[in-house]
Structure 1
Amino acid sequence: MLSIFRNNPKIVIAIFAIVTIAFVVTLVDKGGMSGFTGGGSGSSTGAIATIGDTSISADDLEQQVRNRFAQAQQQQPTLDMPTFLSGGTFEQLVDQSIGATAMEQYARQIGLAASDKQINGQIAGIPAFHGPDGKFSQQLYEGALQQQHLTDKSVRADIGGTILRQMIYLPVTGAQTLPDGLVKPYANLFMETRSGEIGFVPISATQGSVTPSAADLQGFYKSHIAVYTTPELRTLRYALLGREQVAAKAIPTDAEIKQVYDANPDKYAARETRDLSQVVLPDEAKAKAFKASVAGGKSFAEAAQAAGFSAADTGVGVKTQNQFAQQAGAAVAAAAFAAPQGGVTDPVKSDFGWVVVKVNAVSKIAATPYDTAKAQIAGDLVKTKQDKALSDLVAKVQDALDNGQGFADIVKANGLAIVESPAVSAAGQIPGQPAFKPAPDLLPLLQPGFKANPDDPASVQPITPDERYALLAVGHVTPSAPIPFAQVQDRVKADFVASRANDQAKAIATALQAKVKAGTSMAEAFAHAPVKLDAPKPTEGRRIDLARMQGNIPPPVAALFSTTLGSAQLVAAPGGQGWYVVHVGKVTPADDKALAPAIQEARNHFLPAANDEYLQQLSTAAKIAVGAKRDEGAIQGVRAKLLGATPAQ
C-alpha cells in the first residue's frame, strides 16, 4: 500500500487491492476532498468473486475502479470512464483485485500474520498524516478517515493485507536477475546501426493541378460538415475556493510556533544524521553472504546490483537515528548508527527480513536557534492551517450541495464571489476570436463544465490540487450548428484543394514505394517520378539514439527502425504536408565491446517486467491454493454501471 508513495516498482498486485487507505492518502496529498466515499468490506451488494473464506463485493470493486479512475484523471483531466476502461483495463483491475486477495488469503493459510507494531509503523510513515512538527498526527489521521467515511479498523485491515502480501512476494522478486542469453538479442536491437534513404513527396508538387467546380465544393462541404460546424458554446459560472478565501483563519500564534520548535529536537536541536543505503534479504544466510561479498572487495552498490537491487531499491537517504528507527526498527537503526562512516553493518533481523546497512556519510548538525527557525515554522504552520481551513471549506460546500442547496445560496452563505466566463467551446475557444485565451482558473473547469447536463446541480471541482477549487455551475448553452456555406466558401475551397493534392501525393508516393520494393533504387525511382521531386537523403541511426530523443522522434526516422531490410515504408508527414518513402538498405550489428553496456541496460529495462510476470504467476498459484471463483454476471454488472451516466455518490 505504502509503495504508492515510495515509488517501489515491485509492488504491482497489492496496490490495486488496498484501495481504501491508498485513496484516503491520494485525496489528502492531491486535494481531491469532495464528492467521494470510501470503499470497504462488508458491503450489502453481492460478491463478484469468492476467494478462500472471503469475498470481494460488487461495491468494493466499483469503488476500486472509480478510485483508480480519479487518480488517472489527476494526470489526464479530459479522461472519461469509457476511455479509461477500454483496452482491457477493467479486466486487468478485476484480475489484480482477485489475485491480491488470494495472496493475502494464502499468506494467512500458511501461518503468516501482520503485527500491530508493523501496521502502526506503516500508518505513522505516511507523510500525509504528519503534522507541522514532522511527526505522525492522530488528528490528521482521524480527520482523513472521517472525511472519507472510513474506520480505523478497515484501514488497519487493508494495511495488514499489504504486509502479508509483501511477506509472500518480496522473497520471490528480491533477488531476481536475467541471464545474458535472454537480454542480448534485445540489446543488439538497441545497438545495431541502420542505414537507408528518406524521400519526400510534398502536396505542393501536385496542388497546381486541382481546380474544383461548384458541385465539388458543395459535395465536399456536405461530406465534411462536422468540420464546418460551430461547436456547442457554454458560459460557466464558478466561485473560487482557495487559500485567499481562508487566509484570515490561518495565522499562527507565537505560542503555537514555540510549541512546534520545542517538539522537534530531531529538526532543530544539535543532532547527528547519516546518509544510509540498505538491502533487505529474506533469510540470514543470504544476508551473511551479501556482507561477505562486500568484505571480500565488492562495493556495496556492486553487491546490491548482483543481488537484484537497483539504486532506487537500496537508497534510504539522510536520517537521524530516531527517523531511521521508525522506518526500519530500533535494532537496525542502532546498528547503523554504531557503524563508522563507510562501514557496513552485520545482518540485523527486522519485521521484513534481514537488513544490511551501509553508512555513506556522517554529519554533525548544530542546533538551530529559535529566532532563526521561527519564520520557517510560522510558514509551515500557515500552510497547515490553510490546508485544514480549505479542506473544511470544501467539505462544508460539498455538504451543502449534498443537502440540496443551490449555487446562489451556497455562494451567499460562504461569502464567495461569482465569476462568469464568456461563451466558450469545450476546448476553451471562442469562434472568430483566435487570440482568445481562457483564464487559468477556467481551463481545468472546461471538462467537467461540458460533461455536465445544463440542468445538473452545481459541483465542487479541483483547479489546482491542495490549492484551489471551484463551485461550478453551467450557465447559458448555445447548441452547435453548421456554418452557412457562403461564410466558409474560401475555406472549403482551400481544404478541397489540399485534400485532393494529398490524395495525388500519396498515389505518387505509393507508386515509388512499389518500385523500390521491386528493386529500383530510391535515386532512380524519384528521378523518374511524374512530378519534380528532390533526391532522397541518406540517413543512419541506432535505436538507442531514438530512446535519447525522449519521444520527439520524426515519423520517417521512426520508420527506419520498423521497416525490414531491403523494403520501403510509406509515412504521412505531420500536418498533411505530404508523404515520406523510407528505405532500409543496410543493418550492421553492434560489436561485442559496444554491446556490453547495452546488455546491462537491457537487463535493467526488462527486470520490472520479469518481476511482474513472477508476481502474476504467484497470484495465479495463490488463487489455485486457496480456491477462487468468479461471478462473471456480477462482474459485468459492475462494468455496465461504471459505463452508465450516473457518477458515484
Structure 2
Amino acid sequence: MLTALRRLASTWVAKLLFIVLIASFAFWGIGDTVRNFGRDNAVARVGGDPIELEEAQAAIRREMQRLARQVGAAFENDPRIRRAVANQAMEQLVLDRVLRAEANRLGIAVPDASVRDFIFSIQGFRGMDGQFSRAVFENFLRSNDLTEPAFLALVRSDLARQQVSLAVRSGAAAPAALARPLLQWQLEQRSATLVALPLAAAAEPPAPEEAQLRRYHENNPERFSSPEYRDAAVAVLTAQLISREVEISDAELAAAYEARHSQFETPEKRTLAQVLVQDEGKAKAIAAAWAAGADFAAINAQAEAAGGQAIELGSLDRGGLPVPDLAEAAFAQPEGGITAPVRSDFGWHVVKIEKIEAGSTRSLAEVRDQLLEDLKQEKAADLAFERANRVEDALAGGATLAEVAQRFNLGFASVKVDATGRGEDGQPVTLPVIEAARPPLLQAIFRAERGTAPRLAETEAGFVAVEIKEIVPPALRPYESVQAEVLAAFQAEARRRAQEEKAAGLLAAVKGGKALADAAREAGLGFREVGAITRDQQRDPTVPPELLAPLFELKAKEPTMVQTRDGYAVAQLLEVTAANPDADPAGLTRLSGEVSQAMAQDLETQFMLALRARADVRINARLVDTLAQP
C-alpha cells in the first residue's frame, strides 16, 4: 500500500494536486494576514493623530459605567444603547483631539498649579472632613479605569480646551436690536370673541335605526374588530432578576460610598452675575458702584460703556466657574457681596453673589438602600452575559423554555396577548418584566415567527426568548356582541358632526361680514370676550391651546375655527395690543441674558463644527461597530 502511494505521489497528477492544495492553504489560511497587511488599526484619526483601540474601549466603558450609575436599576445594557454610547464616546474623543490641536496651535499652556487647584476644587474628591481625599481620588481612578498620569493629562487638556471655548463664548452678547423686538413679540397681547362648542353640549341625536348601526359597524371594521392575539411562551433574563441573587458585603458598600461620595453631595450653589471688562480701573469703578447699590441695568450700561458686558450667570457650583481664582473669590463672599476685580486671560471679572444655596451630604445610612441596589445591579449586569450564554446552550441542546426558566431562574410566562398587552378579557396580561419593559417585550413577542425554535436575544427588555404557539388574526366582532359600542360610537360621531356644522356656520357668517358675537346670538349660542391673551397662555388658561397659534396669525376682525380636545372653537380677533419693551427693564435684561447664552452656545457649536471640518477626521466605522458589541 505504501509503495503504491509513493508511486502515485511521483506522478504529475499528484504534483498538480499538491500545488492546488498549497495555493488553497495560502488563500484561506493566511489570506486574512495578507489582506490586512498595511491596514490602519486606529479607531479614528484626527489630522493624523490616532485614537487607538484601547483608548476608545476605555472611553466607552467609562461612559457605560457612568450611565449605569446615573440610571441605576432602570439601566438596561441593550445593543441600541451600546451603539449610541459608542458613537457618543467616539465623537467626544474626536472633539477632544480637535480642540487639543487648536489649543496647541494657539500656544495655550496650563501650568501644574492650575491643574492641582482644579482637582482640589472638585467636590467629589473630598472626604468627610471636606478636604481633598487621596483615597477617594484613587477609588475614582480605579472605578473609571484611569491612571493618575492619564487623568492629569485629561484635566490639563480639558482646561486648555475650556480656555478656547470661553474665548469663543465671551464674544456673545445680545444686541438691543434683537432683544427688544423679541421681547415685544413675547409680550404682545390679543383680545378676541370666543365661542366654544364642546361635544358634551351637543343636542342628543335622534335614535338610529338598526340598519344604520349595522352599516356603521360594517364600514368601520377597525373600530369593532378583535386585535391579533398571540399565544406565546416567554422567558426573560434581566439584571433585575439576577440582582436578587447577588450579595453585597458591608465592606463593599462602604468602599462604594467613599468612591461615589460626590453622587450623594449637593454642592453649595450660588446665583451669580458677572461683569467682564478689559481695564482694571474701570472694573474697580464698576465694583464700587455695584457695592454701593446700583442695579443690574445700571451696571450693564456702565460695562457696555467700558467696552465690556454684564451677564447673569445663573446658579453655579464651584466647578461651574472654570477660572480657579474667580471661583475662589466668588465663593468667599457672603450673599449680596461683590468680588474685587479678578484677572484672567479674558480680562477683569467682577462678580455679584445674588443668592446662596447651602450644600449638603447624605450619609451612608441615608443612601444605603439605593447604593445597595445599584451595586447589585452592576454585579448582575456582569453576570447576565455569562448566564445568557448558558441559557442559549441549553436551548440549543433541546431544552424547552419552561425547563431553562426553572433551571436558570428566569422570568417565565405563558400568555395569550394582543400588541397592547391585554388579554381576550380586555385586562392587562401579567408579564415577567417591570412595567417600563412591557413595550419592548411585547414587540419581541410580535416580531417572533411561529414555528421557529426559541433563541435568547438581547432586547430593551433584557435577554428574551419567545416561542409562538398560535397566532389568532384580527376579526370583525359580531354585531350583537358590540351593539352597545356601535351605538355609542355612532352617537358620538353624530354629536361631533353637529358641532362641526355649527362651528362652520359661525365661521361662514363672520367671513360674510357679521361679528362673531352677533352670529352666536342668532344661532342661540353663548360667547365671551377674552383679553390680554399671550402666546404662553399664562394670563387666561381657559383659552384652548389649539387656538393660540392661529389666533396670533390673524389680522384684526379675522375669524378662525379649530378642533379642540373636547369639541370645536371659533374665534374672531378684536384687537392687537403691542408691548413696550422699555416698560419691562427686568424682562429685557432677562431676555438679553437668555439670548446671549443661546448665542454663546451657537457660536461654540459652529466653532467646533468648523474645527472638526478642518481637522481631516477619519473614523473606522467597522471598528466602532465592533466596539459597540457586547
Shared fold (TM-score, shorter chain, > 0.5): yes
- Residue 393 (1) aligns with residue 380 (2): yes
Is this contact kept in 1: 2:196–2:527, CA < 8 A?
yes
Of 571, 575, 578, 2:567 maps to 578
Is this contact kept in 1: 2:272–2:313, CA < 8 A?
no
Give the direction of change, closer, same or farther, for the CA distance of 1:77–1:274 in structure 2 (3 Å limit).
closer
Structure 1: runs of 5 or more not aligned: 1-41, 86-90, 268-272, 318-323, 366-372, 462-469
Is this contact kept in 1: 2:507–2:559, CA < 8 A?
yes
Where does residue 592 of structure 2 map in the other structure? Answer: 603
Is this contact kept in 1: 2:42–2:620, CA < 8 A?
no
Where does residue 213 of structure 1 map in the other structure? Answer: 212
- Residue 526 (1) aligns with residue 526 (2): no
- Residue 110 (1) aligns with residue 106 (2): yes
Where does residue 482 of structure 1 map in the other structure? Answer: 474
Alpha-carbon separation, structure 1, partners of 2:620 and 2:440: 30
Where does residue 88 of structure 1 map in the other structure? Answer: none
Where does residue 295 of structure 1 map in the other structure? Answer: 288
Aligned AA for 2:212?
S
How far 1:335 moved relative to its partner?
A: 6.2
Once the two structures are superposed, residues 347-399 of structure 1 have per-residue CA deviations (whole angstroms, 9 ceiling, x without a partner) of 4557998665668899999xxxxxxx9x9455557765664454223222234
Alpha-carbon separation, structure 1, partners of 2:203 and 2:355: 67
Alpha-carbon separation, structure 1, partners of 2:184 and 2:535: 10
How far 1:182 moved relative to its partner?
A: 1.6
Where does residue 444 of structure 1 map in the other structure? Answer: 436
Where does residue 31 of structure 2 map in the other structure? Answer: none
Where does residue 552 of structure 2 map in the other structure? Answer: 561
How far 1:611 moved relative to its partner?
A: 1.8
Alpha-carbon separation, structure 1, partners of 2:164 and 2:569: 53
Is this contact kept in 2: 1:274–1:361, CA < 8 A?
no
Is this contact kept in 1: 2:190–2:577, CA < 8 A?
yes
Is this contact kept in 1: 2:457–2:464, CA < 8 A?
yes
Q: Alpha carbon RMSD of aligned pairs, Å?
A: 6.1
Is this contact kept in 2: 1:250–1:389, CA < 8 A?
no
- Residue 165 (1) aligns with residue 161 (2): yes
Alpha-carbon separation, structure 2, partners of 1:548 and 1:163: 46
1:354-433 matches, cutoff 5 A:
376-379=363-366, 384=371, 387-401=374-388, 418=411, 420=413, 427-433=420-426
Give the direction of change, closer, same or farther, for the CA distance of 1:442–1:404 in structure 2 (3 Å limit).
closer
Once the two structures are superposed, residues 266-296 of structure 1 have per-residue CA deviations (whole angstroms, 9 ceiling, x without a partner) of x9xxxxx99867778888x456644431223
- SS of alignment partner, residue 173 of structure 2: coil
- Residue 495 (1) aligns with residue 498 (2): no
Aligned AA for 2:161?
R
How far 1:522 moved relative to its partner?
A: 1.0
Give the direction of change, closer, same or farther, for the CA distance of 1:349–1:609 in structure 2 (3 Å limit).
closer
Is this contact kept in 2: 1:132–1:384, CA < 8 A?
no
Alpha-carbon separation, structure 2, partners of 1:252 and 1:551: 58
Is this contact kept in 2: 1:287–1:354, CA < 8 A?
yes
Once the two structures are superposed, residues 397-445 of structure 1 have per-residue CA deviations (whole angstroms, 9 ceiling, x without a partner) of 234436765799998898x6746586555545445345x5979962111
Alpha-carbon separation, structure 2, partners of 1:511 and 1:389: 65
When Rg is computed on C-alpha atoms for both structures, the one with the higher figure is 2
Of 498, 502, 511, 1:517 maps to 511
Aligned AA for 1:168?
V
Is this contact kept in 2: 1:238–1:472, CA < 8 A?
yes
Structure 2: runs of 5 or more not aligned: 1-38, 304-308, 395-400, 449-453
How far 1:151 moved relative to its partner?
A: 8.0
Where does residue 311 of structure 2 map in the other structure? Answer: 309
Normalised by the size of structure 1, how large is the TM-score?
A: 0.62
Where does residue 191 of structure 2 map in the other structure? Answer: 195
Alpha-carbon separation, structure 2, partners of 1:551 and 1:151: 60
- SS of alignment partner, residue 182 of structure 1: helix
Is this contact kept in 1: 2:231–2:416, CA < 8 A?
yes
How far 1:585 moved relative to its partner?
A: 1.3
Number of paired residues?
541
Is this contact kept in 2: 1:197–1:522, CA < 8 A?
yes
Alpha-carbon separation, structure 2, partners of 1:638 and 1:568: 60
- SS of alignment partner, residue 514 of structure 2: coil
Is this contact kept in 2: 1:199–1:537, CA < 8 A?
yes
